Amino acid sequence: MTKLTLGEDSYICDPDESVLDALIREGVDIAYACKKGTCHSCLSRSIDSAPPETAQKGLKDTQKRQNYFLACLCYPKLDMQIKLPEQSEIFSQGKVVVNEMLNHNTLLLKVQCQDMQEYYAGQFVNLQRDDGLIRSYSIANVPQQDGILEFHIRRLPDGQFSEWLHDEIKVGDHIAVSEPQGHCFYVPERADQGLLLIGTGTGLAPLAGILEDALKQGHTGPVMLFHGSRTVEDLYRIDELREFSQQYENFSYFPCVSSEPVLEGYISGRADQVALTQMDEWQGWRVFLCGHPEMVSSMKMEAFMKGVSMGDIYTDAFVVAG
């Protein structure tokens, strides 16, 4: 028998009994459907150790790396401390250390969280205001020893949270930060694999972190970044990304503008459509799609239809809160 620890409670998992069956028997409220590893409804996470390899069948590399597993396929040989997706988040206090503009409507916010050093660039956290209002933002930098998280935040019309961050929060203020979440990040495997990054607006935030992570870890395959916006003034970090493309021979940067005459050094069209014209071969590539939900959804299907494995497609759709 093995012991399953869930929060402050512990349960016994009998021999030849799955984690899912043990929790159901004990009356734990856990989501499930097929009980065969197909629907992924019972996706859970091991906190203290790697789960059995057979319990991670069909999961993305990024999920495996964070010790996610399917409870219906998990027959533990050792005690496990586990967490269910619907369990309450734990927030820690962060301190604003940088608050400056990246362009006319995008804020660079850096928050220092001393106990936040285990995350992946491209994941997201929830930021919480004192009145309880919460919004999700992607992490735009690789882990730092000083625990600083970087966010790119666009001002939204009548956006309660974004306008508060733009107009009121100052360096030295504190803000609540959740633990990192999400599976859209770089895994340092298959270093010769092509990486295709497509983002709109502040979808550049997770992609910038993924790009930095891949290049710093010595990724040798081609890396192509298509960043699009309606106007040139809505783009940002252009010079920095151009310098990256000169520094790394395997990195190519395409700044795309869709709604105004194109200046020299820019490409006319939407980032996803430009990528479709530039890409000759898709099979074997790893694809990251971040930003507008319609772009993310359509390009996910396009990439799959052109031969990219669904397990190699990572997405972060920016849904605007109502």
**pLDDT (tens digit, 9 = 90+) per residue, 103-155?**
999 999 999 998 776 889 999 999 999 998 999 999 999 998 889 999 999 99
The dihedral sign for the CA sequence 169, 111, 219, 237: positive
Q: Are 202 and 176 in contact (CB under 8 A)?
A: no
Predicted local distance difference test score (pLDDT) of residue 189 = 86
What burial letters (b/e) apply to 176-187, b meaning 16+ CB within 10 Å?
A: bbbbbebbbbbb
Predicted local distance difference test score (pLDDT) of residue 219 = 97
Query: What's the angle, vertex CA 294, arms to CA 57 and CA 196, rounded to 5?
Result: 60
- The structural domains of the chain, ordered by start, are 2-83 (3.10.20.30), 91-178 (2.40.30.10), 195-317 (3.40.50.80)
Q: How remote is the C-alpha of 241 from its chain's centroid?
A: 20
Burial label, 17 (beta-carbon count in 10 A; 0-12, 13-18, 19+): middle
Q: Which of 313, 277, 264, 292 is nearest to 204 (CA)?
A: 292
Predicted local distance difference test score (pLDDT) of residue 87 = 59
In the chain, which stretches have pLDDT less than 50? none
CB atoms within 10 A of CB 254: 20
pTM for the predicted model, two decimal places: 0.82
Q: In terms of DSSP H, where are the helices of the chain?
A: 19-25, 61-65, 160-167, 204-216, 238-247, 271-278, 293-305
Give the pairing of strands 80-83 and 2-6: parallel
Q: Which of 318, 303, 227, 212 is nearest to 269 (CA)?
A: 227
Give the DSSP letter of residue 263. Answer: P
- Give kind and range of the element (H or E) at residue 314: strand 313-317
Q: How far apart are CA 10 and CA 88, in angstroms?
A: 18
Predicted local distance difference test score (pLDDT) of residue 34 = 82
Predicted local distance difference test score (pLDDT) of residue 86 = 61
DSSP of 76-93, one letter per residue? -SS-EEEE-TTSPP-EEE
Q: Are 275 and 198 in contact (CB under 8 A)?
A: yes
Predicted local distance difference test score (pLDDT) of residue 88 = 55
Predicted local distance difference test score (pLDDT) of residue 318 = 84
Q: How far apart are CA 65 and CA 50, in angstroms?
A: 9
Paired tokens of 321? 């809160």
